[in-house]
């Protein structure tokens, strides 16, 4: 979520305690993930209750990005062990406590496209990428506002990037800043 909503998620501590679990080789990816990360008592449960739902919404695609309705589970020799229907439904609990019902990738994409925090995060990410440094609200506030406004107005991305590249934050070098 750090790159979509700019919600800071720190990495788990190295000494995590894992509750014993035995997902079977025939289990679906979702079943294995839930078993390993969402069972009460696991140290993963807190974060994964917010991390897993967007991933489950994308289970409609296989590892190569192909659309699928069934997940096929194979053993190491390539023998088919099981087939599972894809369950895309889940409730995403955001960092602020809001709950979003997801029923697949379209719901996830719609939420991200309409979410003001995602637009603000995209503005920050675009500024960081084009400027080659972390954004500075004092110095780059106007640029961030322009990017955000362009997203709200549904401007084409190429136009937003062009505006960013034409901005004073990008075209002017601050000689007092050793990072430039």
23 pLDDT more than 80: no
Are both 33 and 83 inside the same structural domain?
yes
Are both 86 and 162 inside the same structural domain?
no
Residue 176 lies in a domain: no
- Rounded to an integer, the average pLDDT of 17-33 is 76
The residues facing 80 across adjacent strands are: 74
Q: Residue 127: which pLDDT band, with cuts at 50, 70 and 90?
A: very high
Rounded-to-10 torsion of CA 86, 89, 95, 96: 170
Name the DSSP letter for residue 167. Answer: S
How many residues are recorded in the chain?
180
- Rounded to an integer, the average pLDDT of 60-82 is 93
Within a 10 A sphere around the Cβ of 122, how many other Cβ atoms?
21
- Considering the chain, what is the average pLDDT of its residues? 87
Give the Cα separation of 26 and 11 in Å (integer). 29
Can you give the pTM of this predicted structure?
A: 0.77
Full domain range(s) for residue 129: 116-171
Are both 81 and 31 inside the same structural domain?
yes
């Amino acid at each position: 979520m750090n790159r979509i909503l700019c919600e800071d998620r720190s990495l788990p501590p190295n000494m995590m305690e894992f509750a014993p679990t035995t997902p079977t080789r025939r289990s679906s990816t979702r079943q294995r993930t839930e078993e390993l990360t969402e069972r009460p008592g696991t140290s993963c449960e807190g974060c994964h209750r917010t991390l897993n739902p967007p991933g489950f919404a994308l289970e409609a695609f296989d590892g190569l990005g192909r659309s699928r309705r069934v997940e096929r589970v194979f053993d190491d020799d390539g023998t088919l062990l099981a087939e599972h229907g894809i369950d895309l439904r889940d409730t995403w609990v955001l960092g602020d406590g809001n709950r979003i019902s997801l029923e697949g990738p379209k719901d996830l994409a719609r939420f991200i496209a309409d979410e003001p925090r995602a637009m603000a995060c995209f503005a920050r990410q675009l500024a960081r990428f084009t400027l080659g440094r972390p954004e500075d609200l004092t110095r780059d506030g106007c640029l961030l506002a322009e990017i955000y406004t362009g997203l709200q107005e549904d401007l084409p991305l190429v136009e937003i990037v062009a505006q960013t590249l034409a901005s004073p934050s990008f075209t002017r070098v601050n000689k007092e800043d050793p990072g430039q």
